[in-house]
Structure 1
Amino acid sequence: MNQAPRINFAVTPLLRIAYEEHGPASGAPVILLHGFPYDPRAFDEVAPALAQRGYWVIVPYLRGYGPTRFNNPSILRSGQQAALAQDLLDLMQALAIPQAGLCGYDWGGRAACIVAALWPERVRCLVTGDGYNVQDIPRSTQPLDPETEHRLWYQYYFHSARGVESLTQNRRELCQLLWRLWSPTWTRGTALYPLSAPSFDNPDFVEVVIHSYRHRFMYAPGDPTLEWMEERLTAQPAISVPSISLCGADDGVGPAPEFDEDAEHFSGVYERRVLAGVGHNIPQEAPQATLRALLDLLED
């Protein structure tokens, strides 16, 4: 039987980051990063399996989720991509981790991709959900094809006061709807959702989420202290570390295209694996495929 994860806290310049810890601290570190609207429960079948192989596994609650808290009320509740990447760097610094294997999807995949692109010496390998997750913000104002625009309805909803109020009042119902829409063929989602939903009761959840979806469309200013990173990301820097992209064939928000449009953003060893019958919540829907990808890179 797998042991319950140890829950600890790392104090960084901006946050008191809660993280679940598996395996020996003497093992090679692996950091697993969830997305929106999910939490560390996404890795419940991945983290223990890595720990059993001797890895030190860290599964943080992102800013705005679960027990993670900002250090003081004056800090901008930013959800921008640079903030997520800086949080990952700060967590590694607080835990004295010079280099780690990274696995993330959605928001967590964005943080992992940015750190892999800008600080490759800190990343042993990368498993990324849906490929290259670095936002191209200067081009975000250009409309996409109507079908894609339709799938992004929730992002545009959050640009409005009505969307903010809906997320505030109905966060559990709204997030559960996104689970269903994004993983339409996943039969376990209804039973597992209640395990993750309490993480959305974080007092900063709504503000961080709204800022994330407004900043990426240039409708909200970012953290001035992170502007230097956002400027570097406008160049869409390549990822040189060994990487595997896992894509859900049934992803309701971003289905995998037949042609791998992200391959050009990876300059090192790279492979894309399209997972049949899998939606957006890749590690929770396909834990064995996620574990296999990590081990293929970690034990190569």
Structure 2
Amino acid sequence: MATLSRPAPLLYVRTPMLEVAYETHGPVEGEPVILLHGFPYDPRGYDEIAPVLAERGYRVFVPYLRGYGPTRFINAQVIRSGQQAALAKDLLDFMDALAIPQATLAGFDWGGRAACIVAALWPERVRGLMTGDGYNIQDIAKSLKPRAPETEHRLWYQYYFHTQRGVDGLTANRRDLCQLLWSLWSPSWVEGPSLYGKTAPSFDNPDFVAVVIHSYRHRFMYAPGDPALETIEQALALQPPISVPSISLCGADDGVGPAPEEDDDAEHFSGFYRRRILKGVGHNIPQEAPQATLDALLELLA
């Protein structure tokens, strides 16, 4: 598989909320594909996938999410929200700003959440969806319901972020903390430690801590959302189905949530849907399993 020797040149586009930094590959007239990273990752996760899609004639966009890398908020006073509706609205605004009427989306973690929401609420904008770990739309109303002890143990970082100590810890130790998460979430990924240094600078964004803290507090109802996004959050509370053609890739070794044998998410997909469990793969699906990710995308694009 082809690999980028260095990242593609950065481009910027202004949306109503952000100055979004993004990388692009492939011919301008190519069919659009948008690849979305999660926390704590960045576009480097798609370095083995984007150039291959470009060689096949697709126009590939890989943006930095809010709070990551060179992406910046336009308004200094606006809430640094990390809620799910904000991530989805950013994706929709990004497509509008670049005049992309429809795209195939791929994402995991935060990026997968944005992709799932746009696919559910604006299906006409999505040709196909590759989602890491299935249906990523949060059911916030059920967030305070206790879960199995082993699941609660894996979510320690989220509870840490609910405290001021967590805010201070992420501020002071963001690179070390995120490196720890990489190792815990992808325990069988041999190349992970050597690749972390290429991604870590993206966490130096001045809004990284605020966006991350808000994300993990809002999903547990410990922080209010952006009032401008309330309509979207109300729609998401209904757990809308995803009707676009979708493939879910799940890491069998995912340290956040190992894929269960029974697919609990299937009921949320009303169109073509396939689920694949990847042995020896953790949470960072595109970077740990680039060929499987590429195969899923090409299947959706066929």
Q: TM-score range by the shorter chain?
A: over 0.9
TM-score between the two structures when normalised by the length of structure 2: 0.98
* 1:131 aligns to 2:134 (yes or no): yes
Residue of structure 1 equivalent to 2:287 = 284
Q: Can you give the 5+ residue segments of structure 1 that lack an aligned partner in the other structure?
A: none
Contact 1:186 1:285 in 2 (8 A): yes
Cα deviation digits, residues 7-44 of structure 1 (max 9, x gap): 10010001000001111111000000000000000000
In structure 2, what residue type is equivalent to 1:8? Answer: L
Which of 181, 186, 204 is residue 183 of structure 1 equivalent to?
186
Cα deviation digits, residues 168-217 of structure 1 (max 9, x gap): 00000000000000000000010000000000000000000000000000
* 1:152 aligns to 2:187 (yes or no): no
Residue of structure 1 equivalent to 2:246 = 243
Which of 51, 68, 71 is residue 74 of structure 2 equivalent to?
71
Residue of structure 2 equivalent to 1:88 = 91
CA RMSD after TM alignment:
0.8
In structure 2, what residue type is equivalent to 1:138? Answer: A
Query: Which secondary structure does the structure 1 equivalent of 2:264 belong to?
Result: coil
Fraction of identical pairs, as percent = 74
Deviation at 1:85, TM superposition (A): 0.1
Query: Which secondary structure does the structure 1 equivalent of 2:134 belong to?
Result: coil
Deviation at 1:75, TM superposition (A): 1.0
CA distance in 1, matches of 2:286, 2:209: 24
Deviation at 1:112, TM superposition (A): 0.1
Query: Which secondary structure does the structure 2 equivalent of 1:67 belong to?
Result: coil
In structure 2, what residue type is equivalent to 1:156? Answer: Y
Deviation at 1:275, TM superposition (A): 0.3
Deviation at 1:72, TM superposition (A): 1.7
Which of 194, 198, 215 is residue 195 of structure 1 equivalent to?
198
Residue of structure 2 equivalent to 1:116 = 119
Query: Number of paired residues?
Result: 299
Residue of structure 1 equivalent to 2:267 = 264
Residue of structure 1 equivalent to 2:220 = 217
* 1:7 aligns to 2:3 (yes or no): no
In structure 2, what residue type is equivalent to 1:37? Answer: P
Query: Which secondary structure does the structure 2 equivalent of 1:170 belong to?
Result: helix
* 1:104 aligns to 2:107 (yes or no): yes
Which of 271, 274, 278 is residue 277 of structure 2 equivalent to?
274
Residue of structure 2 equivalent to 1:26 = 29
TM-score between the two structures when normalised by the length of structure 1: 0.99
CA distance in 1, matches of 2:277, 2:287: 15
Cα deviation digits, residues 86-140 of structure 1 (max 9, x gap): 0000000000000000000000000000000000000000000000000000110
CA distance in 2, matches of 1:11, 1:75: 16
Deviation at 1:150, TM superposition (A): 0.5
Query: Which secondary structure does the structure 1 equivalent of 2:184 belong to?
Result: helix
Contact 1:104 1:112 in 2 (8 A): yes
In structure 1, what residue type is equivalent to 2:206? Answer: P
CA distance in 2, matches of 1:116, 1:10: 22
Cα deviation digits, residues 142-175 of structure 1 (max 9, x gap): 1111110000000000000000000000000000
CA distance in 1, matches of 2:28, 2:96: 15
CA distance in 2, matches of 1:41, 1:140: 31
Q: Can you give the 5+ residue segments of structure 2 that lack an aligned partner in the other structure?
A: none
Contact 1:6 1:22 in 2 (8 A): no
CA distance in 1, matches of 2:129, 2:9: 24
Query: Which secondary structure does the structure 1 equivalent of 2:166 belong to?
Result: helix
Deviation at 1:6, TM superposition (A): 2.8
Residue of structure 1 equivalent to 2:237 = 234
